[in-house]
Structure 1
Amino acid sequence: MQSLQSPQCLGRRIAVSNILDVTLRDGGYLNRWQFSLEETKSVLNFLQDQGLSQVEVGFLRTPDRMTSPVNGCPKEFLAEIQQLYPEMSLVCMLNPAEDNWQAAVADKLDQISLLRMPCTADLVDKALEIANHLKKQSSHLKISLNLICVSSYSLAEIECLLRTIAPSKNVDIVYLADSRGALYPHEVNAMMALVREICPQSLGFHAHDTLGYAIENSNQAFAQGCDWIDVTLKGFGLAGGNTPLGGYLAHHDLQSSGQSIQAEVTDFCQKHLPLRHPDSLTRQRYRLLAAKNIDPVWCDQLLEKYPDTLNKKVEKLPRQHYKNIDSVLDIMIP
């Protein structure tokens, strides 16, 4: 499935500095972010050894919604990580739908270099408002607005969202996130070309590997001028997983030693990172859904309704911009 063509964009060659590891945040969907401090430090040590300096360490939450250091990022946790890894730039994610986002970020901005906000269309205005407030509080903080589930929008819809974001002086990076892992390389190419045309900000891309195109889609994004590419160890992440760090570094010959980076990642994860991908049957079903541009996170709900016939029903559906699970159920043949 991966065509594995190395991208060139205006003479650029991708570097480790373009790569952001999001294992602790996106991989956390596989263990509900229950990483021990020892496991967290092991991950950061390994990434540092590979030359990565930008790491997303988790979600910013209010104290009452915090379930672990990674799923909450209390200031004490961030301060300790910053002290242990002074050369690393710490990245955190803030959901703009948080009712009390001010409490979620309180006293933490000094430790964070980049704050990312995942947005569906209905949250863009709120995210821009939050970005305005945060920039007044911190002069060093970079802010990224991440348009998620971009395969659920037409190019015209994406263009409309981008024209809302582009004028903002408070947004430093505009990300497209293929949250469903449903995009094909030519679609990524068209979307990123549109972002580059409209937005003066730096560009980022977050791939999921549901259809097996994460590396190639990331390459297409970089070829269109993208500056930030997200990866995770062994591709650990929600549903179909993410762009695998080992595969991506190996593909671009960015290994820090003479050993196989993919073998190093596998060995490290077996010893220090007790995460597991979904079983093969589940991953196969995710691929079937993503091929129709249906969000794999709806899989359990769809199975509950059609436990014996889901695959056959999905195969008969058209590929289109499904916005929610009801839009799928509405056209499924009973």
Structure 2
Amino acid sequence: MLPAADTLNFFRNEFQDCPEFSRPNILDVTLRDGGFTNNFSFSRKEIISHYNLLSGIGVDIVELGYLGGVPELHGSVSGISANIPPDLILECSKLGGAQSGLMIHPSSQVSPALISEAIDAGVDIFRVVYHPSWEKKFTDICEFLMGENRKFFINLALITHYKLEQIVLIANKARLLGAAGFILPTLVVHWTRCLLRNYFP
């Protein structure tokens, strides 16, 4: 495994063939995606320590966890990063450094009130999961965030299951809903990330 700083440089170098992506933002999802390995039972101290550590090495965005709960297919989960409370967001925001992020899954119990609390606490970026199964709630969430003038990105669930034409249509929809762009896994093929620059310059 590469040291953390070398890992960041490695991924940044991967995008040099697309000039618009020569300096991509690095998003850490340890506290959210990693939560599936420990039932999201990170302690507050661990979350704050993780945020501080990654801020110190230049990570751009630290995703603190989910807002409103995990996807419904995972059932009820009580760990703190499964539904980050506003006071913990505020504590991280006061530290400065990396931007704080939250993922919103449309099948969760998220509501406009919860989103407003997170905004007031200082969260910088939201990542909203898209899948056709949750089209209506996905749209409602995006429209609320746009109305609040908040920066949000679309996470395309199971992106390798989509054809290029479908990705283009979803990208266009996301842009119309006010999304700042897609956050794509590094395994997405070259044509996808270069094509999407036309939708999110």
Same fold (TM over 0.5): yes
Deviation at 1:92, TM superposition (A): 0.5
Work out which of the residue numbers 103, 107, 125 in structure 2 matches 1:114: 125
TM-score (norm 1): 0.49
The answer for unaligned runs of 5 or more in structure 1 is 203-334
Residue 175 of structure 1 aligns with which residue? 183
Q: Quick one: structure 1 residues 149 and 6, their matched pair in 2 at CA, closer, same or farther if it must change by over 3 Å?
A: closer
1:22 and 2:29 are equivalent in the alignment: yes
1:60 and 2:67 are equivalent in the alignment: yes
Pairing of 1:110-189 with structure 2 (within 5 A): 110=120, 111-136=122-147, 138-139=148-149, 141-168=150-177, 170-177=178-185, 188-189=189-190
Deviation at 1:99, TM superposition (A): 4.7
SS in 2 for 1:166: helix
1:57/1:91 contact within 8 Å kept: yes
**CA root-mean-square deviation:** 2.8
1:41 and 2:51 are equivalent in the alignment: no
1:121/1:161 contact within 8 Å kept: no
Higher relative contact order (CA 8 A, sep 6+): 1
Work out which of the residue numbers 95, 99, 122 in structure 2 matches 1:89: 99
Deviation at 1:142, TM superposition (A): 0.5
Deviation at 1:46, TM superposition (A): 1.6
Q: CA separation in 2, counterparts of 1:72 and 1:11? A: 34
Larger Rg: 1
Q: CA separation in 2, counterparts of 1:166 and 1:45? A: 32
Q: CA separation in 1, counterparts of 2:112 and 2:77? A: 15
SS in 2 for 1:92: strand
Deviation at 1:39, TM superposition (A): 1.6
What is the identity percentage for the equivalent residue pairs of Structure 1 and Structure 2? 25
Deviation at 1:79, TM superposition (A): 1.5
Deviation at 1:20, TM superposition (A): 1.5
Q: Match of 2:132, as an amino acid?
A: A
Matched residue count = 183
Pairing of 1:201-240 with structure 2 (within 5 A): 201=200
Deviation at 1:125, TM superposition (A): 4.8
TM-score (norm 2): 0.77
2:68/2:83 contact within 8 Å kept: yes
SS in 2 for 1:135: helix
Pairing of 1:266-281 with structure 2 (within 5 A): none
Q: CA separation in 1, counterparts of 2:60 and 2:167? A: 31
SS in 2 for 1:90: strand
Deviation at 1:70, TM superposition (A): 1.4
Q: Quick one: structure 1 residues 177 and 49, their matched pair in 2 at CA, closer, same or farther if it must change by over 3 Å?
A: closer
Q: CA separation in 2, counterparts of 1:172 and 1:163? A: 11
Q: Quick one: structure 1 residues 7 and 143, their matched pair in 2 at CA, closer, same or farther if it must change by over 3 Å?
A: closer
The answer for unaligned runs of 5 or more in structure 2 is 1-10, 70-75
